[in-house]
């Protein structure tokens, strides 16, 4: 075969090879451009509820309680937020204080809601001890970087004026002393409605849990900004 012809054939083959490679790159580039960039993972913030039977959903299905309803609302109104319910029926402020460090370490909440004190009052425990426990819980929560919302309680008048007034003022004192938010009386929207309570006249029924959430929401929502 003519050497000149062989050389021309080799050059043509090389050019065809480069042309094929260029076309392959051009085809691949649009596919790469259409590939969506990976989105950064969404950071989830947590509301930790430390409460007693009023928040644990005593006597009703768990999903009917105001804390569970809060979780549903957060999904709709505050994406990236969730609620962890660490409430225990029968809990006192002393019990809540003993559990709080472990929950703060486990959950690492951005907001802590403290709904405790009712069982202290029903057992006639000293108001000064209850206030000291609430104060310590608030300080520990804030030291962890969380904002705090206190849900206050009231005691019936049969315990005496000095006790009931001191009991109510304990929440106000803790909130003011620590720069925490406060709902003065958690059960205020339903307290005068006998039908809003179960047979024990202490625990709210399922139908009024939404009212309790609506009562807490105006104080809680600003803390999630």
Catalytic residue positions, numbered: 53, 200, 203
Tokens 């001191």 belong to: 166
- Residue 84: which H helix or E strand, with range? strand 81-85
Phi, psi of 183, deg, nearest 5:
-105, 105
Per-residue burial over 195-222, b if 16 or more Cβ lie within 10 Å, else e, is ebbeeeeebbbeebbebbbebbeebbee
Among 193, 223, 179, which residue's Cα sits nearest to residue 49? Answer: 223
3-state secondary structure of 81: strand
| Residues 6 or more apart in contact with residue 222 via CB below 8 angstroms | 181
Phi, psi of 132, deg, nearest 5:
-65, -40
| Residues 6 or more apart in contact with residue 92 via CB below 8 angstroms | 52, 116, 119, 120, 123, 125, 130, 133
């Amino acid at each position: 075969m003519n050497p000149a012809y062989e050389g021309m054939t080799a050059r043509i083959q090389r050019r065809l090879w480069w042309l094929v490679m260029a076309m392959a790159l051009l085809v691949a580039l649009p596919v790469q451009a259409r590939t969506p960039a990976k989105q950064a993972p969404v950071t989830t913030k947590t509301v930790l509820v430390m409460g007693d039977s009023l928040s644990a959903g005593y006597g009703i299905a768990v999903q009917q309680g105001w804390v569970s309803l809060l979780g549903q609302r957060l999904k709709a109104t505050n994406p990236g937020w969730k609620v962890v319910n660490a409430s225990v029926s029968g809990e006192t402020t002393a019990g809540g204080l003993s559990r709080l460090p472990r929950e703060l370490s486990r959950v690492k909440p951005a907001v802590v809601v403290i709904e405790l004190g009712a069982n202290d009052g029903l057992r006639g425990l000293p108001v000064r001890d209850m206030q000291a426990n609430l104060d310590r819980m608030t300080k520990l929560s804030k030291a962890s970087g969380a904002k705090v919302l206190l849900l206050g309680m009231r005691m019936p008048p049969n315990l005496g004026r000095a006790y009931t007034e001191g009991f109510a003022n304990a929440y106000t004192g803790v909130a003011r002393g620590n720069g925490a938010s406060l709902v003065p009386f958690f059960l205020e929207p339903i307290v005068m409605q006998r039908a809003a309570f179960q047979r024990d006249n202490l625990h709210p029924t399922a139908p009024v849990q939404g009212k309790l959430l609506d009562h807490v929401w105006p104080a809680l929502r600003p803390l999630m900004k």
